[in-house]
Structure 1
Amino acid sequence: MELPIFDLITISNATDNFAINKKLGAGGFGFVYKGTLHGGQEIAVKRLSKNSRQGFNEFKNEVTLIAKLQHRNLVKLLGCCIQENEKMLIYEYMHNKSLDSFIFGLNFDPCY
């Protein structure tokens, strides 16, 4: 399975060196940052925490699984970055939308 590999410098530049104002969220895996590639494409970068116990083989398996799960209703995995003890997944950036809005329409209210 062919999946583009991004280099660390490209991702670091796209996220302004993982600036705090580029942080979109966090979870047990680490942080997610918004970035913009040189050509203007907006991306979301899931950066695995250095404290994570996930090794290279586990990360590789996760990347392979996510790449196989590509679907029009899921955010697209664009590639990954594995360099200098960094493990990152690079996704397309979705502007203030959720999967629910794509499946059920823009006026979907999950409270009902």
Structure 2
Amino acid sequence: FTLEELSIITNDFSTQNLLGEGGCGCVYKGRLRDGREVAVKQLKVGGAQGEREFKSEVETISRVHHRHLVSLVGYCVSENQRSLVYDYVPNKTLYYNLHGEK
């Protein structure tokens, strides 16, 4: 994906599409042109993950397929911005599923 494509499908990374935020960055809900819903994980600029580690992660994730893991749809590397695009799975957070409501 290009950064422009990700910007379009997330409505310019709108706060209305923000699903969550963590130590690695923010996750936004997006919709591809074919109607498929995706989760776009925009990694923090200047984060600890380098170019080689990012590429290695993309290669590894794209080869792993399991019914309990979301699938990697694609990725974006644009200047200093890195993003991962996953299938969107509507559900509560992992923390909620492990620990319940707090």
With the length of structure 2 as denominator, give the TM-score of the two structures.
0.84
The answer to whether the 8 Å contact 2:46/2:80 transfers is no
State the AA in 2 paired with 1:85.
N
The answer to whether the 8 Å contact 1:70/1:77 transfers is no
Confirm whether residue 23 of structure 1 aligns to residue 13 of structure 2.
Answer: no
**Cα separation, partners in 2 of 1:21 and 1:75, compared to 1, 3 Å:** same
Unaligned 5+ segments in structure 2 are none
State the 1:51 CA deviation. 3.2
Confirm whether residue 71 of structure 1 aligns to residue 80 of structure 2.
Answer: no
State the 1:70 CA deviation. 1.9
State the 1:18 CA deviation. 0.4
The answer to whether the 8 Å contact 2:37/2:87 transfers is yes
State the 1:37 CA deviation. 1.0
- 1:51 aligned counterpart, secondary structure: coil
How large is the Cα RMSD of the aligned pairs? 2.1
With the length of structure 1 as denominator, give the TM-score of the two structures.
0.77
The percentage of counterpart residues that share the same residue type is 45
Larger Rg: 1
